[in-house]
């Protein structure tokens, strides 16, 4: 594994993403079940079996690889060159370049000529769109790249209800002779609608022990704000699912106490 050093915290946590291999190890859980759920949603709420998928903020390409192994075509894009190069190397090593590709691009304005049956954004990446105009631009552009009736599944969490405080999320990960403990802490600022998050990686490997601390700033969503912006786009909200892939009643108002919620959006027209 390449060498790594701790870096000064940055606004969007780019130092963590610059350490693409460490990032990939930290998030090295099996995504197969989640992707089967996403594909089921795309087929059930869309217009047939999806064969071409779009993944905004594809990171190190772990979803692209699994989709490629399933025989699907997938295009991902990401703004960070380090994770993008990692994803491209992974696709090449897997022999999946003919089916899957990783392109440079920002969620706020990415566009390509290809058309997709569906799209999926994972693990709260949607929250990096901080301003209304960025959200609207992203949803408009994504809709323009989907076939008629295409489905966009967004994994998104909301602000905690009053008197509930965000918990620290911890997990362990290992690959080969590198192990790490990950801690994700969140501080919500309702006045500015921002979530200030700190990711700490305590890493042990052949080079000894290292600690990488990165600060992220993401948008702190309220359900009514999301719905109000969505109403200004070509999408409609068709369904909500919880983190265990269970369908939620139509009357559900999602909040941070529910953890992440899958939003099934369908392109209208």
> Three-state SS for 92?
helix
pLDDT band, very low/low/confident/very high, at 153 (cuts 50, 70, 90): very high
User: Do 138 and 253 lie in a common domain?
Assistant: yes
Q: How many CB atoms lie within 10 A of CB 150?
A: 26
pTM for the model: 0.92
What CATH number has the domain bearing residue 192? 2.20.25.110
- What mean pLDDT comes out for the span 163-187? 92
pLDDT computed for residue 157 by the predictor: 96
- What mean pLDDT comes out for the span 168-175? 95
Residues in the chain: 269
Dihedral (CA of 158, 12, 168, 187) sign: negative
Mean pLDDT of the chain: 92
pLDDT computed for residue 166 by the predictor: 79
- Residue 24 falls inside a structural domain: no
- What mean pLDDT comes out for the span 232-260? 96
The Cα–Cα gap between 18 and 239 comes to 35
Residue 6 has pLDDT above 50, yes or no: no
Cβ–Cβ under 8 Å, residues 156 and 127: yes
User: Do 135 and 228 lie in a common domain?
Assistant: yes
pLDDT computed for residue 16 by the predictor: 79
What CATH number has the domain bearing residue 238? 3.40.50.150
- What mean pLDDT comes out for the span 143-162? 96
pLDDT computed for residue 9 by the predictor: 40
User: Do 151 and 232 lie in a common domain?
Assistant: yes
- What mean pLDDT comes out for the span 217-245? 97
User: Do 122 and 52 lie in a common domain?
Assistant: yes
pLDDT computed for residue 7 by the predictor: 38
Distance of CA 238 to the CA centre of its chain: 20
User: Do 124 and 66 lie in a common domain?
Assistant: yes
Residue 17 has pLDDT above 90, yes or no: no
pLDDT computed for residue 10 by the predictor: 38
């Amino acid at each position: 594994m390449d060498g790594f050093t701790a870096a000064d915290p940055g606004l969007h946590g780019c130092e963590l993403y610059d350490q693409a291999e460490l990032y990939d190890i930290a998030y090295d859980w099996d995504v197969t079940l989640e992707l089967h759920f996403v594909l089921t949603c795309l087929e059930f709420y869309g217009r047939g079996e999806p064969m071409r998928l779009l993944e905004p903020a594809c990171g190190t390409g772990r979803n692209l690889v699994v989709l490629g192994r399933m025989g699907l075509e997938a295009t991902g894009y990401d703004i960070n060159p380090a994770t993008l190069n990692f994803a491209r190397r992974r696709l090449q090593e897997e022999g999946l370049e003919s089916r899957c590709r990783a392109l440079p691009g920002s969620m706020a304005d990415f566009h390509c000529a290809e058309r997709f049956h569906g799209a999926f954004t994972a693990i709260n990446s949607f929250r990096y769109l901080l301003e209304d105009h960025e959200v609207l631009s992203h949803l408009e552009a994504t809709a323009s790249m989907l076939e008629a009736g295409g489905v966009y599944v967004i994994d998104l969490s909301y602000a905690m209800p009053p008197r509930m405080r965000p918990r620290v999320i911890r997990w362990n990960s290992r690959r080969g002779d590198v192990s790490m403990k990950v801690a994700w802490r969140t501080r919500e600022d309702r006045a500015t609608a921002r979530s200030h998050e700190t990711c700490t990686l305590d890493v042990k490997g052949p080079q000894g022990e290292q600690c990488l601390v990165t600060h992220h700033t993401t948008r702190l969503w309220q359900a009514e704000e999301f719905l109000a912006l969505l109403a200004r786009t070509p999408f409609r909200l068709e369904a909500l699912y919880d983190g265990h892939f269970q369908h939620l009643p139509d009357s559900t108002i999602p909040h941070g106490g529910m953890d992440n919620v899958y939003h099934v959006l369908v392109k209208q027209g």
